[in-house]
Structure 1
Amino acid sequence: MSSISPKSFEATQFKPTPNNLEAFFMPFTSNRHFKANPRLFVKAEGMHFTNIDGKQVLDATAGLWCVNAGHGRREISEAVSHQIQELDYSPPFQMGHPAAFELASRVAALAPTGLDHVFFTNSGSESVDTALKIALAYQRAKGQGTRTRLIGRERGYHGVGFGGISVGGMVNNRKWFGTALGGIDHLPHTYNAKEMAYSKGQPAWGAHLADDLERLVALHDASSIAAVIVEPVAGSTGVLIPPKGYLEKLREICTKHGILLIFDEVICGFGRLGTNFGADYFGVTPDLITCAKGLTNGAIPMGGVIVSKQIYDTFMETSAENAIELFHGYTYSAHPVACAAGLAVLDIYKNEGLFDRVKEITPYWENAIHSLKGTRHVIDLRNIGLIGAIELESRPGKPGARAMDAFLKAYEKGMLIRVTGDIIAMSPPFIVEKSHVDQAVSILADVLKSID
């Protein structure tokens, strides 16, 4: 037993100096800037974080798009506590535990008709790489081993695995790591400022952009293409909303040429648009859905790939008796503690009607976001579901600098926002009240007026 007093772990005992921050190599962070000017959270409840100075910070981003049900949910912590005492770990290879099957059944029940099997991972990045591997293996199982090419989209974000950055289309995620996977091509992104600026919901212009998939089919031949992967709404790249009819066209072209369609719903899944999944919102059913984030409300890392019955059955029917049908998995797939968190979260979503709550507050959210039109530096506003984007004019020769200044200033004023380039993204927890929306927009307006 440790002789260290529990009091030594209290937040008030921690001194945030560069020396004791040095060991942590932080992800997607300017380490030197942060460690000279640290921003540390020590507590979270409801709609707010509390930082190390005791100041409340409004969470306008649901953490990183993940804390959909709000912070500090006792139902989740109690479920996790009970599970870790009862069964802390169970190997997922050739063994199982009841919560894994229960959670898979409940996730499948939420998914569009026909997507009824779930392969569990530990993150959105793992979910994407898993989905890509399933797609390749499925084509091989069908006797179509020439289908090895994967199609992503410019300005797409699919996590940080080598598969995800290969099909992704964000330059800084790709340029440092070599060619990654070969045999990749990309559709054009869907954003056109001239045609789409200040859109509310789906833009009317742009469905024809999906036709570029036919060009790629003509270039590579359908017999070489395994799958197309897109985000229904591209979130991390700056909230790029699909034009009306665009996803429908992609589905039609994929079906026509025997290409699998993967929706990366790490952000859209579990209520962000007011529906179970983005697929439901847009009325387009893919062959696979990747998910994570909202699955466990960010409490315990977990992700998943929801797979169609056709894909699952193909693996079962083309493998020898007692054979492993898919040579893929993780030590922590369907971890018991993560499953306990997931089950508790799904109960909260259902019992509190949180997806319907998103629908109810969406019109108010939309009006609030668009009330920023004409605010200093703003060149576009867009929204869908409980997501909003405020695009700023870039400083000459310094892309991203203005939004980063806004991020820091917003934190000083008591609000957490998300920035990518010169785009501010906001995606609050589903428990957000109108007063929180008003507060968020007011703070942001003040911030934009105060920065150069």
Structure 2
Amino acid sequence: MRGSELNALWHPFADMGAVDGARLVITRGEGPWVFGEDGTRYLDGTAALWYANLGHGRREIADAVARQMRELDAYSIFGDFANPPALELADRLAALMPAPGAKVFLGSGGGDAIDTAAKVARRHFAELGQPDRVHLIGRGHGYHGTHGIGTSIGGIPANLAGFGPMLEHASSVPHDDAAALEAEIVRVGPDRVAAFFCEPVIGAGGVHLPPDGYLEAVAEICARHGVLFVADCVICAFGRLGTWLGIDRWPVTPDMVTIAKGVTSGTLPLGAVLVAADVAAPFFPGEAGAPVLRHGPTYAGHPACCAAALAALDLYERDDVIARGRELEAPLAEALAPLAGHELVGEVRAGTGFLAGVEFDADALAAEPGLPGRLQLAARERGVLVRPLGRGVAVSPPLVCGQEEIDVLAAALAEGLAAL
């Protein structure tokens, strides 16, 4: 009997014909390891979906959520309502922004944080008397979630295919060419561009590191043309690049930062947009009659999710986890470097943060498009979970890993390539 006749679960980003009857059911997690229903232990080489930075099974977070659920399980923050965890979390997140006075708009995850940032950018300019500034620019290979706006400004063609027309007034530029961004702003017209969306290190698009000077250059271009610079740090924040936000590894000051994933170490869904003081200013005049941003998800400021984030922030601080991304980037790059010599491999991208991409050789991939999936399965057979992405596989292990886990990861990929 086919799996679809046994279970109704429709998996995201999955060939359901291949999934049926072949699910890997994860039942338990402990540190950097997860366990299948048959008891097999796997190294979580992807931190689930780039988010389990603190590893799995952190009782401190579970206990904090349980305490909050017993006190106040859920309540909206629409209008003038609030709750203590949401208030505390907003203040702690605002303090992470490079400049003081930031405001924090809470949400349910990274995708709605991107939509929030885009709508805030457009409304910001509308309040300044520039309603024509609605154009949004993304980058090739960029991934900004699967909501409508995020899909429209993403740079992965397969994610756009088959859905029909997307958002008007959106475009994409090459991911590694600052001059191309300026040319696109000029082509559209600076008085029509609202924001540029930029991952410091592109994650789901294949792990692409920024060229030297790129982030500084695009930040300067945005500032010169009055375009808001939105740093999408959903993957890069909370230690993945060795700093709190990811973008703060570089000497730039973004207008907005989107976060999610690692803010709770993935334990409960929560996202946020950190908005610089001058961008938020039209909505905070200090008196009644301010413009109302008619936007927000139902679960914004959910007290249990905020309690999870507060507990995660405490653990990042207590255990000095944030620095781990930078401490582990060289060992990971060194362990994976030998893979570049394999005849099937075209490039290994690593060295900026605790994440890496292994891309297949173009000719090998043309001859066998299924290589990324085959390498994923080969690594799984060796006890390591990696993520197939486009032209290769990506890794982003929990920040609680050490050299031993890095060696296990590298060995599984090397042996998997040999098996192919």
TM-score by length of 1: 0.89
1:58 to 9, 34, 43: 43
Q: What corresponds to 1:357 in structure 2?
A: 324
Distance 2:321 2:5 in 1: 40
2:300 to 327, 333, 353: 333
Which deviations, in whole Å up to 9, do the C-alpha atoms of 1:229-264 show, x marking residues without a partner?
111111001011111111111111111111101011
Answer yes or no: is 1:250 the counterpart of 2:218: yes
Distance 1:151 1:73 in 2: 38
Q: What corresponds to 2:123 in structure 1?
A: 137
Distance 1:115 1:419 in 2: 40
Distance 2:63 2:174 in 1: 46
Distance 2:155 2:340 in 1: 29
Distance 1:400 1:303 in 2: 34
Maintained 8 Å contact 1:316/1:325 = no
2:234 to 244, 266, 290: 266
Q: Secondary structure at the match of 1:342?
A: helix
Which deviations, in whole Å up to 9, do the C-alpha atoms of 1:334-374 show, x marking residues without a partner?
10110000000000000000012332222212211213231
Distance 2:188 2:2 in 1: 55
The unaligned stretches of length 5 or more in structure 2 are: none
Q: What corresponds to 1:102 in structure 2?
A: 88
Maintained 8 Å contact 2:284/2:290 = no
Q: CA deviation at 1:396?
A: 5.5
Answer yes or no: is 1:422 the counterpart of 2:416: no
Distance 2:191 2:226 in 1: 8
The unaligned stretches of length 5 or more in structure 1 are: 1-15, 191-208
Alignment of 1:92-171 (within 5 A): 92-94=77-79, 95-114=81-100, 116-171=102-157
Between Structure 1 and Structure 2, how many residues are aligned?
417
Q: What corresponds to 2:166 in structure 1?
A: 180
Answer yes or no: is 1:445 the counterpart of 2:414: yes
Q: Secondary structure at the match of 1:42?
A: strand
Alignment of 1:259-338 (within 5 A): 259-317=227-285, 321-323=288-290, 325-338=292-305
Distance 1:218 1:413 in 2: 51
Q: What corresponds to 1:200 in structure 2?
A: none
Q: What corresponds to 1:67 in structure 2?
A: 52
AA of the residue aligned to 1:281: R
> RMSD of the alignment, in Å?
1.7
Distance 1:310 1:401, change over 3 A: same
Maintained 8 Å contact 2:76/2:301 = no
Maintained 8 Å contact 2:207/2:357 = yes
Distance 1:328 1:399 in 2: 45
Q: What corresponds to 1:233 in structure 2?
A: 201
Between 1:387-396 and 1:290-299, the stretch displaced more is 387-396
Answer yes or no: is 1:78 the counterpart of 2:78: no
Q: Secondary structure at the match of 2:339?
A: coil
Q: CA deviation at 1:110?
A: 2.1
Between 1:112-121 and 1:168-177, the stretch displaced more is 112-121
2:400 to 424, 431, 442: 431
Q: Secondary structure at the match of 2:293?
A: coil
Distance 1:324 1:89, change over 3 A: farther
Which deviations, in whole Å up to 9, do the C-alpha atoms of 1:398-431 show, x marking residues without a partner?
6641010011111122110011112211111111
Maintained 8 Å contact 1:399/1:421 = no
Distance 1:396 1:49, change over 3 A: closer
Distance 2:171 2:128 in 1: 23
Distance 2:291 2:65 in 1: 31
Which deviations, in whole Å up to 9, do the C-alpha atoms of 1:185-231 show, x marking residues without a partner?
221122xxxxxxxxxxxxxxxxxx20122212321211111111111
Q: CA deviation at 1:137?
A: 0.5
Distance 1:242 1:300 in 2: 30
Maintained 8 Å contact 2:371/2:392 = no
Distance 2:100 2:252 in 1: 12
Which deviations, in whole Å up to 9, do the C-alpha atoms of 1:277-322 show, x marking residues without a partner?
22211221210001100011110011000000111112223x9724
Maintained 8 Å contact 2:365/2:391 = no
2:345 to 375, 378, 399: 378
Q: What corresponds to 1:41 in structure 2?
A: 26
Distance 2:221 2:32 in 1: 42
Which deviations, in whole Å up to 9, do the C-alpha atoms of 1:164-188 show, x marking residues without a partner?
0111111111122122110112211
Identity %: 38
Distance 1:19 1:115 in 2: 52
Distance 1:358 1:257 in 2: 33
Q: Secondary structure at the match of 1:240?
A: coil
Q: What corresponds to 1:4 in structure 2?
A: none
Maintained 8 Å contact 2:125/2:194 = yes
Q: CA deviation at 1:433?
A: 1.4
Distance 1:78 1:330 in 2: 26
Distance 1:21 1:108 in 2: 47
Maintained 8 Å contact 1:112/1:279 = no
Maintained 8 Å contact 2:356/2:394 = yes
